[in-house]
Amino acid sequence: MKNLRDVWSSRFMHYIGEVQKYMQFIFTGHIAIVLVFLIGAGGYQYSEWLKVVQTDFPAEILIAVFIGILLAFSRPTTLLREPDQVYLLPLESKMSHYFSKALAWTFWSQVWIVAIVYIVSIPLLKAVTDLTTIEIWSIFILVIVLKYISVRGEFSYRYSERGQMVWVDRLIRAIIFAAAVYMGLQAQLLLTIVATVISIIYMIVFRKKSVGEPVPYEHFVKLEQNRMMSFYRFANYFTEVPHLHGSIRRRGWMDWLYKFVPYGKKNSQKYLVFRTFVRTDDHFYLWLRLTAIAGVIAAFVDIPIVTWIVAGALSFATTIQLKQALLSSGEFRMDMLFPLPDNARQLAVKQIVRLAMVTQAIIVGLCAITQPMFYIVVVIVLVISELTAKVSK
Protein backbone atom coordinates (compact mmCIF):
# COMPACT_ATOMS: atom_id res chain seq x y z
CA MET A 1 0.00 0.00 0.00
CA LYS A 2 1.40 3.37 -0.99
CA ASN A 3 -0.47 5.39 1.66
CA LEU A 4 -3.35 5.28 4.07
CA ARG A 5 -5.82 6.31 1.38
CA ASP A 6 -4.97 3.08 -0.42
CA VAL A 7 -5.52 1.19 2.84
CA TRP A 8 -8.98 2.74 3.12
CA SER A 9 -9.80 2.01 -0.53
CA SER A 10 -8.81 -1.63 -0.15
CA ARG A 11 -10.86 -2.11 2.99
CA PHE A 12 -13.80 -0.19 1.61
CA MET A 13 -13.99 -2.46 -1.45
CA HIS A 14 -13.82 -5.53 0.78
CA TYR A 15 -16.54 -4.08 3.01
CA ILE A 16 -18.84 -3.30 0.07
CA GLY A 17 -18.30 -6.81 -1.30
CA GLU A 18 -19.15 -8.32 2.08
CA VAL A 19 -22.33 -6.27 2.37
CA GLN A 20 -23.43 -7.06 -1.18
CA LYS A 21 -22.83 -10.78 -0.61
CA TYR A 22 -25.40 -10.91 2.15
CA MET A 23 -27.77 -8.27 0.82
CA GLN A 24 -28.68 -10.53 -2.08
CA PHE A 25 -30.08 -13.00 0.44
CA ILE A 26 -31.81 -10.34 2.54
CA PHE A 27 -33.71 -8.59 -0.26
CA THR A 28 -35.17 -11.68 -1.87
CA GLY A 29 -38.43 -11.85 -3.78
CA HIS A 30 -40.80 -12.27 -0.82
CA ILE A 31 -39.11 -9.53 1.17
CA ALA A 32 -39.36 -7.19 -1.83
CA ILE A 33 -43.08 -7.94 -2.09
CA VAL A 34 -43.56 -7.25 1.61
CA LEU A 35 -41.67 -3.95 1.35
CA VAL A 36 -43.71 -2.85 -1.66
CA PHE A 37 -46.99 -3.52 0.13
CA LEU A 38 -45.73 -1.94 3.36
CA ILE A 39 -44.66 1.24 1.58
CA GLY A 40 -47.85 1.35 -0.46
CA ALA A 41 -50.12 0.72 2.52
CA GLY A 42 -48.18 3.15 4.70
CA GLY A 43 -48.33 5.85 2.04
CA TYR A 44 -52.07 5.34 1.58
CA GLN A 45 -52.74 5.49 5.32
CA TYR A 46 -50.55 8.60 5.63
CA SER A 47 -52.32 10.40 2.78
CA GLU A 48 -55.74 9.57 4.22
CA TRP A 49 -54.69 10.83 7.65
CA LEU A 50 -53.42 14.10 6.18
CA LYS A 51 -56.93 14.79 4.87
CA VAL A 52 -58.34 14.88 8.40
CA VAL A 53 -55.38 16.06 10.48
CA GLN A 54 -56.14 19.04 12.71
CA THR A 55 -54.31 22.31 12.13
CA ASP A 56 -53.29 22.40 15.81
CA PHE A 57 -51.43 19.08 15.53
CA PRO A 58 -47.93 19.60 17.07
CA ALA A 59 -46.09 18.61 13.90
CA GLU A 60 -43.16 21.00 14.40
CA ILE A 61 -42.16 19.71 17.83
CA LEU A 62 -42.62 16.04 16.89
CA ILE A 63 -40.61 16.36 13.68
CA ALA A 64 -37.90 18.38 15.42
CA VAL A 65 -37.50 15.85 18.24
CA PHE A 66 -37.51 12.83 15.93
CA ILE A 67 -35.03 14.34 13.49
CA GLY A 68 -32.87 15.57 16.37
CA ILE A 69 -32.61 12.03 17.71
CA LEU A 70 -31.79 10.66 14.25
CA LEU A 71 -29.11 13.30 13.76
CA ALA A 72 -27.52 12.53 17.12
CA PHE A 73 -26.88 8.90 16.21
CA SER A 74 -23.84 9.26 13.95
CA ARG A 75 -21.63 6.31 14.80
CA PRO A 76 -18.44 6.53 12.70
CA THR A 77 -17.58 3.78 10.23
CA THR A 78 -13.77 3.40 10.40
CA LEU A 79 -13.27 -0.16 9.08
CA LEU A 80 -10.38 -0.53 11.51
CA ARG A 81 -9.27 -4.05 12.41
CA GLU A 82 -7.68 -5.49 15.51
CA PRO A 83 -4.14 -5.78 14.05
CA ASP A 84 -4.22 -2.03 13.33
CA GLN A 85 -3.57 -1.42 17.01
CA VAL A 86 -0.01 -2.59 16.30
CA TYR A 87 0.69 -2.20 12.60
CA LEU A 88 -0.70 1.34 12.19
CA LEU A 89 1.04 2.78 15.23
CA PRO A 90 4.03 4.06 13.18
CA LEU A 91 1.56 5.92 10.91
CA GLU A 92 -0.47 7.47 13.70
CA SER A 93 0.55 11.01 12.73
CA LYS A 94 -0.90 10.46 9.26
CA MET A 95 -4.16 8.80 10.33
CA SER A 96 -6.06 12.01 9.58
CA HIS A 97 -5.94 11.08 5.87
CA TYR A 98 -7.53 7.73 6.67
CA PHE A 99 -10.18 9.19 8.98
CA SER A 100 -11.15 11.86 6.45
CA LYS A 101 -12.16 9.10 4.05
CA ALA A 102 -13.93 7.22 6.84
CA LEU A 103 -15.95 10.26 7.91
CA ALA A 104 -16.92 11.05 4.32
CA TRP A 105 -18.36 7.54 3.94
CA THR A 106 -20.04 7.78 7.36
CA PHE A 107 -21.81 10.98 6.31
CA TRP A 108 -23.01 9.76 2.91
CA SER A 109 -24.09 6.36 4.25
CA GLN A 110 -26.23 7.93 7.01
CA VAL A 111 -27.52 11.23 5.65
CA TRP A 112 -30.08 9.60 3.36
CA ILE A 113 -31.99 8.22 6.36
CA VAL A 114 -32.67 11.58 7.95
CA ALA A 115 -33.24 13.11 4.50
CA ILE A 116 -35.99 10.59 3.70
CA VAL A 117 -37.64 11.12 7.08
CA TYR A 118 -37.74 14.88 6.55
CA ILE A 119 -39.03 14.57 2.98
CA VAL A 120 -41.80 12.25 4.18
CA SER A 121 -42.77 14.87 6.78
CA ILE A 122 -43.08 17.67 4.20
CA PRO A 123 -46.76 16.94 3.34
CA LEU A 124 -47.56 17.12 7.06
CA LEU A 125 -45.77 20.46 7.36
CA LYS A 126 -47.72 21.84 4.42
CA ALA A 127 -50.97 20.63 5.96
CA VAL A 128 -50.57 22.14 9.43
CA THR A 129 -48.10 25.04 9.05
CA ASP A 130 -47.81 28.22 7.02
CA LEU A 131 -44.25 27.53 5.89
CA THR A 132 -43.48 28.36 2.27
CA THR A 133 -41.80 25.92 -0.09
CA ILE A 134 -38.55 27.88 0.09
CA GLU A 135 -38.60 27.77 3.91
CA ILE A 136 -39.29 24.04 3.96
CA TRP A 137 -36.41 23.23 1.63
CA SER A 138 -34.13 25.65 3.47
CA ILE A 139 -34.72 23.58 6.60
CA PHE A 140 -33.90 20.48 4.57
CA ILE A 141 -30.49 21.99 3.77
CA LEU A 142 -30.11 22.82 7.46
CA VAL A 143 -30.77 19.18 8.36
CA ILE A 144 -28.06 18.04 5.94
CA VAL A 145 -25.61 20.54 7.46
CA LEU A 146 -26.48 19.39 10.97
CA LYS A 147 -25.86 15.79 9.96
CA TYR A 148 -22.38 16.70 8.78
CA ILE A 149 -21.74 18.49 12.08
CA SER A 150 -23.07 15.49 14.00
CA VAL A 151 -20.80 13.02 12.19
CA ARG A 152 -17.75 15.19 12.88
CA GLY A 153 -18.87 15.87 16.42
CA GLU A 154 -19.42 12.25 17.47
CA PHE A 155 -16.10 11.21 15.94
CA SER A 156 -14.26 13.99 17.80
CA TYR A 157 -15.99 13.09 21.07
CA ARG A 158 -15.16 9.40 20.71
CA TYR A 159 -11.58 10.29 19.77
CA SER A 160 -11.00 12.57 22.77
CA GLU A 161 -13.05 10.67 25.37
CA ARG A 162 -12.36 7.10 24.18
CA GLY A 163 -16.11 6.53 23.81
CA GLN A 164 -16.85 7.03 27.50
CA MET A 165 -20.38 8.29 28.29
CA VAL A 166 -21.18 8.65 24.60
CA TRP A 167 -24.89 8.64 25.45
CA VAL A 168 -24.43 11.98 27.23
CA ASP A 169 -22.82 13.42 24.11
CA ARG A 170 -25.68 12.13 21.97
CA LEU A 171 -28.27 13.53 24.34
CA ILE A 172 -26.67 16.99 24.24
CA ARG A 173 -26.39 16.96 20.46
CA ALA A 174 -29.97 15.69 20.10
CA ILE A 175 -31.26 18.61 22.20
CA ILE A 176 -29.23 21.16 20.23
CA PHE A 177 -30.24 19.73 16.85
CA ALA A 178 -33.91 19.44 17.84
CA ALA A 179 -33.85 23.07 18.97
CA ALA A 180 -32.25 24.19 15.68
CA VAL A 181 -34.81 22.31 13.57
CA TYR A 182 -37.72 23.50 15.73
CA MET A 183 -36.65 27.12 15.46
CA GLY A 184 -36.33 26.66 11.72
CA LEU A 185 -39.85 25.25 11.52
CA GLN A 186 -41.05 28.22 13.55
CA ALA A 187 -39.38 30.55 11.00
CA GLN A 188 -37.15 31.97 13.74
CA LEU A 189 -34.06 32.61 11.60
CA LEU A 190 -31.91 34.22 14.29
CA LEU A 191 -32.56 31.50 16.87
CA THR A 192 -31.94 28.83 14.23
CA ILE A 193 -28.54 30.35 13.46
CA VAL A 194 -27.74 30.57 17.19
CA ALA A 195 -28.57 26.88 17.76
CA THR A 196 -26.52 25.88 14.70
CA VAL A 197 -23.54 27.94 15.87
CA ILE A 198 -23.78 26.28 19.31
CA SER A 199 -23.61 22.85 17.65
CA ILE A 200 -20.54 23.94 15.68
CA ILE A 201 -18.84 25.28 18.82
CA TYR A 202 -19.66 22.03 20.65
CA MET A 203 -18.00 20.06 17.85
CA ILE A 204 -14.94 22.32 17.77
CA VAL A 205 -14.43 21.96 21.55
CA PHE A 206 -13.96 18.20 21.32
CA ARG A 207 -12.08 18.47 18.05
CA LYS A 208 -9.48 20.69 19.74
CA LYS A 209 -9.49 18.43 22.76
CA SER A 210 -8.56 15.47 20.56
CA VAL A 211 -5.54 17.24 19.09
CA GLY A 212 -2.38 15.56 20.33
CA GLU A 213 -4.26 12.60 21.78
CA PRO A 214 -3.23 9.10 20.64
CA VAL A 215 -5.63 7.37 18.29
CA PRO A 216 -8.11 5.30 20.36
CA TYR A 217 -7.60 2.18 18.24
CA GLU A 218 -9.09 -0.12 20.84
CA HIS A 219 -12.36 1.82 21.01
CA PHE A 220 -12.75 2.21 17.24
CA VAL A 221 -11.89 -1.46 16.62
CA LYS A 222 -14.46 -2.59 19.18
CA LEU A 223 -17.01 -0.20 17.69
CA GLU A 224 -16.37 -1.60 14.21
CA GLN A 225 -16.60 -5.19 15.42
CA ASN A 226 -19.94 -4.49 17.10
CA ARG A 227 -21.26 -2.77 13.99
CA MET A 228 -20.34 -5.65 11.69
CA MET A 229 -21.61 -8.21 14.18
CA SER A 230 -24.99 -6.44 14.20
CA PHE A 231 -25.08 -6.65 10.41
CA TYR A 232 -24.14 -10.33 10.43
CA ARG A 233 -26.81 -11.12 13.00
CA PHE A 234 -29.39 -9.37 10.83
CA ALA A 235 -28.17 -11.22 7.74
CA ASN A 236 -28.30 -14.49 9.66
CA TYR A 237 -32.08 -14.17 9.80
CA PHE A 238 -32.14 -14.65 6.03
CA THR A 239 -29.15 -16.91 5.32
CA GLU A 240 -26.49 -18.79 7.25
CA VAL A 241 -23.45 -16.71 8.18
CA PRO A 242 -20.64 -19.27 8.65
CA HIS A 243 -18.52 -17.37 11.18
CA LEU A 244 -21.47 -16.20 13.31
CA HIS A 245 -22.42 -18.14 16.39
CA GLY A 246 -25.67 -17.14 18.04
CA SER A 247 -25.59 -16.37 21.74
CA ILE A 248 -27.54 -18.45 24.24
CA ARG A 249 -29.67 -16.99 27.01
CA ARG A 250 -31.15 -18.75 30.01
CA ARG A 251 -34.61 -17.12 29.85
CA GLY A 252 -35.71 -18.70 33.11
CA TRP A 253 -38.99 -16.79 32.99
CA MET A 254 -40.03 -19.04 30.08
CA ASP A 255 -39.33 -22.36 31.83
CA TRP A 256 -43.05 -22.93 32.31
CA LEU A 257 -43.37 -23.47 28.54
CA TYR A 258 -41.39 -26.70 28.73
CA LYS A 259 -44.26 -28.28 30.66
CA PHE A 260 -46.17 -28.47 27.37
CA VAL A 261 -43.74 -31.20 26.27
CA PRO A 262 -44.75 -34.37 28.17
CA TYR A 263 -41.96 -36.19 29.96
CA GLY A 264 -40.91 -39.35 28.15
CA LYS A 265 -38.23 -40.94 26.01
CA LYS A 266 -40.15 -40.41 22.78
CA ASN A 267 -40.28 -36.67 23.46
CA SER A 268 -36.59 -36.19 24.22
CA GLN A 269 -35.83 -34.64 20.82
CA LYS A 270 -38.92 -32.47 20.98
CA TYR A 271 -37.86 -31.18 24.41
CA LEU A 272 -34.31 -30.52 23.18
CA VAL A 273 -35.46 -28.67 20.04
CA PHE A 274 -37.94 -26.63 22.07
CA ARG A 275 -35.21 -25.55 24.49
CA THR A 276 -32.94 -24.75 21.55
CA PHE A 277 -35.63 -22.54 20.01
CA VAL A 278 -36.39 -20.68 23.24
CA ARG A 279 -32.79 -20.16 24.40
CA THR A 280 -31.00 -19.38 21.12
CA ASP A 281 -31.17 -15.67 20.32
CA ASP A 282 -31.04 -16.12 16.55
CA HIS A 283 -33.99 -18.53 16.51
CA PHE A 284 -36.12 -16.87 19.16
CA TYR A 285 -35.67 -13.27 17.95
CA LEU A 286 -36.23 -14.33 14.34
CA TRP A 287 -39.69 -15.61 15.24
CA LEU A 288 -40.38 -12.71 17.60
CA ARG A 289 -39.36 -10.02 15.11
CA LEU A 290 -41.33 -11.36 12.15
CA THR A 291 -44.37 -12.02 14.36
CA ALA A 292 -44.19 -8.46 15.71
CA ILE A 293 -43.98 -7.00 12.19
CA ALA A 294 -46.99 -9.02 11.04
CA GLY A 295 -48.90 -8.02 14.18
CA VAL A 296 -48.18 -4.31 13.74
CA ILE A 297 -49.27 -4.42 10.09
CA ALA A 298 -52.46 -6.29 11.03
CA ALA A 299 -53.24 -3.79 13.79
CA PHE A 300 -52.62 -0.52 11.95
CA VAL A 301 -53.21 -1.18 8.24
CA ASP A 302 -56.93 -1.10 7.48
CA ILE A 303 -56.60 -2.75 4.07
CA PRO A 304 -57.40 -6.48 4.52
CA ILE A 305 -55.75 -7.63 1.28
CA VAL A 306 -52.48 -5.96 2.31
CA THR A 307 -52.64 -7.59 5.75
CA TRP A 308 -53.23 -10.99 4.18
CA ILE A 309 -50.36 -10.70 1.72
CA VAL A 310 -47.89 -9.42 4.32
CA ALA A 311 -48.93 -12.02 6.89
CA GLY A 312 -48.61 -14.77 4.29
CA ALA A 313 -45.17 -13.62 3.16
CA LEU A 314 -43.90 -13.31 6.74
CA SER A 315 -45.31 -16.70 7.72
CA PHE A 316 -43.43 -18.22 4.78
CA ALA A 317 -40.23 -16.44 5.80
CA THR A 318 -40.63 -17.47 9.45
CA THR A 319 -41.35 -21.11 8.70
CA ILE A 320 -38.57 -21.74 6.20
CA GLN A 321 -35.91 -19.90 8.19
CA LEU A 322 -36.89 -21.40 11.53
CA LYS A 323 -36.99 -24.92 10.09
CA GLN A 324 -33.59 -24.58 8.44
CA ALA A 325 -32.08 -23.04 11.57
CA LEU A 326 -33.29 -25.82 13.87
CA LEU A 327 -32.19 -28.54 11.45
CA SER A 328 -28.77 -27.04 10.74
CA SER A 329 -27.20 -28.11 14.03
CA GLY A 330 -24.60 -30.55 12.71
CA GLU A 331 -22.22 -30.70 15.68
CA PHE A 332 -22.11 -33.59 18.11
CA ARG A 333 -24.88 -33.64 20.70
CA MET A 334 -25.35 -35.95 23.66
CA ASP A 335 -28.74 -37.03 22.35
CA MET A 336 -26.93 -38.78 19.48
CA LEU A 337 -25.82 -41.43 21.97
CA PHE A 338 -29.39 -42.47 22.69
CA PRO A 339 -31.12 -45.14 20.57
CA LEU A 340 -33.65 -42.86 18.92
CA PRO A 341 -35.02 -43.15 15.37
CA ASP A 342 -33.01 -41.35 12.68
CA ASN A 343 -35.93 -39.07 11.84
CA ALA A 344 -36.67 -38.17 15.46
CA ARG A 345 -35.11 -34.72 15.18
CA GLN A 346 -36.85 -33.95 11.89
CA LEU A 347 -40.21 -34.82 13.42
CA ALA A 348 -39.43 -32.77 16.52
CA VAL A 349 -38.45 -29.75 14.44
CA LYS A 350 -41.64 -30.07 12.43
CA GLN A 351 -43.74 -30.11 15.60
CA ILE A 352 -41.97 -27.15 17.21
CA VAL A 353 -42.18 -25.08 14.01
CA ARG A 354 -45.90 -25.87 13.78
CA LEU A 355 -46.38 -24.82 17.40
CA ALA A 356 -44.49 -21.55 16.77
CA MET A 357 -46.57 -20.80 13.68
CA VAL A 358 -49.87 -21.56 15.42
CA THR A 359 -48.82 -19.08 18.10
CA GLN A 360 -47.91 -16.54 15.42
CA ALA A 361 -51.29 -17.03 13.72
CA ILE A 362 -53.15 -16.43 17.00
CA ILE A 363 -51.16 -13.27 17.76
CA VAL A 364 -51.63 -11.83 14.26
CA GLY A 365 -55.32 -12.75 14.34
CA LEU A 366 -55.84 -10.93 17.64
CA CYS A 367 -54.04 -7.87 16.24
CA ALA A 368 -56.34 -7.90 13.19
CA ILE A 369 -59.52 -8.44 15.19
CA THR A 370 -60.87 -4.98 14.28
CA GLN A 371 -60.71 -5.76 10.56
CA PRO A 372 -63.55 -7.44 8.66
CA MET A 373 -63.07 -11.19 8.25
CA PHE A 374 -60.02 -11.07 10.54
CA TYR A 375 -60.07 -14.87 10.81
CA ILE A 376 -58.86 -15.13 7.21
CA VAL A 377 -55.41 -13.91 8.24
CA VAL A 378 -55.22 -16.76 10.77
CA VAL A 379 -56.10 -19.29 8.07
CA ILE A 380 -53.54 -17.79 5.67
CA VAL A 381 -50.71 -17.98 8.22
CA LEU A 382 -51.55 -21.58 9.13
CA VAL A 383 -51.98 -22.80 5.54
CA ILE A 384 -48.86 -21.14 4.14
CA SER A 385 -46.71 -22.23 7.09
CA GLU A 386 -47.88 -25.81 6.78
CA LEU A 387 -47.31 -25.91 3.04
CA THR A 388 -43.88 -24.32 3.45
CA ALA A 389 -42.88 -26.85 6.12
CA LYS A 390 -43.92 -29.79 3.91
CA VAL A 391 -42.46 -28.54 0.61
CA SER A 392 -39.14 -27.14 1.89
CA LYS A 393 -36.21 -29.44 2.47
* CB half-sphere exposure, 237, CA atoms < 13 A: 21
Bigger pLDDT: 306 vs 51: 51
Residue 246 in any domain: the answer is no
181-191: burial string, b at 16+ Cβ within 10 Å, e else: bbbbbeeeeee
What would the mean pLDDT of 50-67 be, rounded to a whole number? 91
- pLDDT score at 28: 67
Instruction: Round the average pLDDT of the chain to a whole number and report it.
Output: 86
What are 293-318's pLDDT values in tens digits? 888 888 887 778 888 888 888 898 88
Same domain for 126 and 76: yes
Q: Are residues 224 and 259 in the same domain?
A: no
3-state secondary structure of 248: strand
pLDDT of residue 30: 61
Calculate mean pLDDT across residues 244-249: 66
Q: How many CB atoms lie within 10 A of CB 115?
A: 15
Measured from the Cβ of residue 259, the count of other Cβ atoms closer than 10 Å reads 8
Shared domain check, 259 and 232: no
Cα 272 from Cα 129, distance rounded (Å): 59
Asked if pLDDT for residue 1 goes beyond 50, the answer is: no
What residue numbers bound the domain in which 259 lies?
Answer: 252-391
Residues 224 and 335 both lie in one domain: no
pLDDT in tens, 115-170: 999 999 999 999 999 899 999 999 999 999 999 999 999 999 999 998 889 999 99
356 within some domain = yes
In the prediction, which pLDDT does 349 show? 86
Encode pLDDT of 355-372 as tens digits: 999 999 999 999 988 888
**Are 18 and 127 in the same domain?**
yes
CB–CB of 351/270 below 8 Å?
yes
Q: Are 96 and 159 in a shared domain?
A: yes
DSSP string over 319-354: HHHHHHHHH---S--GGGGS---TTHHHHHHHHHHH
Contacts of 298 (CB under 8 A, 6+ apart): 307, 311, 364, 365, 367, 368, 371, 374, 377
Looking at residues 112-116, what average pLDDT do you find? 95
How big is the chain, counted in residues?
393
Residue 230 pLDDT greater than 70, yes or no = yes
User: Does 147 map to a domain?
Assistant: yes
**Are 279 and 227 members of one domain?**
no
Mark which of 237, 269, 295 sits at the end of a domain.
237
Lowest mean pLDDT among 23-37, 281-295, 332-346, 377-391: 332-346
Which residues, listed in sequence order, are joined to residue 248 by a DSSP beta bridge?
A: 280
pLDDT band at 85 (very low <50, low <70, confident <90, very high): confident
- Whether 151 and 26 share a structural domain: yes
% of the chain beyond a pLDDT of 70? 91
**Cα distance between residue 324 and residue 346, in whole Å:** 11
Name residue 268's amino acid. Answer: S
Q: 115 and 165: one domain? A: yes
Within-domain flag for 244:
no
Does residue 245 lie in a domain region?
no
Strand partners, 280: 248
241 neighbors 211 (Cβ within 8 angstroms): no
Report whether pLDDT(266) > 70.
yes
**Residue 366 covered by a domain:** yes
> Minimal CA–CA distance to 388: which of 322, 334, 330, 333?
322
For residue 211, the one-letter residue type is V
Q: Which of 173, 205, 237 is the last residue of a domain?
A: 237
Say whether pLDDT at 61 is over 80. Answer: yes
Cα–Cα nearest to 172, from 199, 197, 194, 196: 199
Give residue 393's pLDDT.
66
Closest by CA position to 146, among listed 124, 187, 179, 169: 179
Instruction: Give the pTM.
Output: 0.75
pLDDT at 329 exceeding the cut of 80: no
What pLDDT is recorded for position 374? 83
Mean pLDDT across 328-339: 58
Total tally of structural domains belonging to the chain: 2
Judge if 226 and 275 occupy the same domain. no
- Do 210 and 345 have their domain in common? no
Segments in the chain forming alpha helices (H): 4-26, 29-50, 59-72, 84-87, 95-128, 133-161, 166-185, 189-210, 217-235, 268-279, 281-300, 304-327, 344-367, 375-391
Give the CA distances from residue 294 to residues 152, 290, 300, 313, 367, in Å, rounded to whole numbers and listed in that order: 38, 6, 10, 9, 9
The answer as to whether 225 is a domain residue is yes
Last residue of a domain, one of 175, 203, 237: 237
Q: Does residue 196 share a domain with residue 70?
A: yes
Residue 369 lies in a domain: yes
